[in-house]
Each structure stands twice: as C-alpha cells, then as structure tokens.
Amino acid sequence: MIDRKAFIEFWEKRNNRKTAFLFLVVYTAGIFIFFMPATKKMNENPLYAVAWFVLFFAYLLGMPFLWSRIIHGKADPQFLKCPVCKKRLGRVNQRVIATGKCGHCGACILTECEQDAPSDFTQK
C-alpha cells in the first residue's frame, strides 16, 4: 500500500503550474532561437538545412523528456500505476487522493483507504 501523504506530495510536485509555465517559456524561446539564424544560413548551404532539421526535431522531441527528468527526476513507479490493475493513475489521481481507491478498478491502494467509499469509479 502507498502512503497517502507521499502520494499527494508526488502529484503536487508533478502538477506545479510555475514549473509548467517556465517550461513553456523555455521551450518556446528555444524554438525561436532555432528560427532566428536559420533562414539566411539555409539559403547559403543546403547541408546546413539538413543538420538544422535534425537538430530542430531532436529539440522538439527531446526537450520535454529532458525537462521532465531534470525537474522531477525518475518517477517512482508506485505512484504512476495501480498495483492491482496496472493502469495509469495520472488522470484519476484526485479520485485516489479522495477515496484511497484506484479510479479504474476500485481497489484500495492507499494506506488510509476509506472502506465505505463507493468503489465503482470505472471510466467508460
């Protein structure tokens, strides 16, 4: 069973609005930095255009992953999936906090699980 306090702290840290806003600013600035010198140099050298596209798409795909790893570190798997049904808890974490039960299968997964809470939380 997972400790309720640790579960709440984990999801509060991951769902921080300040961090999300900072990521948006950094990510958007990085995209603009790629475009500033690109057009002039691409006309001069076609090999630069190929390298630019490779680096740009590596940035688009890699930056969110690296940001998540740098800011949050490696996520503890016990907070991400239900130990019973193995489904992700990301969208139903508020239900888990409120009742202590998985939002998919209804199994008690937190230490202070409310036994009298309704267990039919299955999503359609």
Tens digits of per-residue pLDDT, 21-43?
Answer: 999 999 999 888 887 776 677 77
CA distance 96 to 107: 10
Residue ranges covered by each domain of the chain: 15-72
Tens digits of per-residue pLDDT, 103-112?
Answer: 888 888 887 7
Output the average pLDDT for the chain. Answer: 78
Q: Is the pTM of this model over 0.75?
A: no
Ordered alpha helix ranges (H), 3-92: 4-14, 17-35, 38-44, 46-72
pLDDT of 110 reads 83
SS3 109: coil
Tens digits of per-residue pLDDT, 45-64?
Answer: 878 888 888 988 999 999 99
